[in-house]
Amino acid sequence: MNAIELQLFGVFRSWEPTARLRLPLAAGARIGEVRAALAEYAAAHWPPLAHDVLAQSAFADASRVLRDDDAVPHDGALAVLPPVNGG
């Protein structure tokens, strides 16, 4: 069992004031599994709206946006980027 470190942006910061979250995750996990683990955390700790925001959010490492089937980076550090409005 490993852990991932999530840096949160946008509306996620209003739901998690530290703007960081550490979640347990099995070694070799994919981004889709991170999304599922965060959704489980969100259901228990954040308002219902979080589910929809999370479904449209992107996950990124230090250099690129990742797809759900991409592997979690070796350092376990990810940013969670909610959708933005405006331009």
Q: Is residue 68 part of a domain?
A: yes
Cα separation, 64 vs 5, in Å, equals: 16
pLDDT digits (tens, 9 = 90+) for 13-67: 999 999 999 999 998 999 999 999 999 999 999 999 999 999 999 999 999 999 9
Question: pLDDT tier at 86 (50, 70, 90 boundaries)?
Answer: low
8-state DSSP, 19: S
The domain containing residue 47 runs over which residues? 2-81
Q: Is residue 87 part of a domain?
A: no
Question: pLDDT tier at 2 (50, 70, 90 boundaries)?
Answer: confident
pLDDT attached to residue 3 = 92
CATH code of the domain covering residue 48: 3.10.20.30
Q: How many domains does the chain have?
A: 1
Cα separation, 65 vs 56, in Å, equals: 13
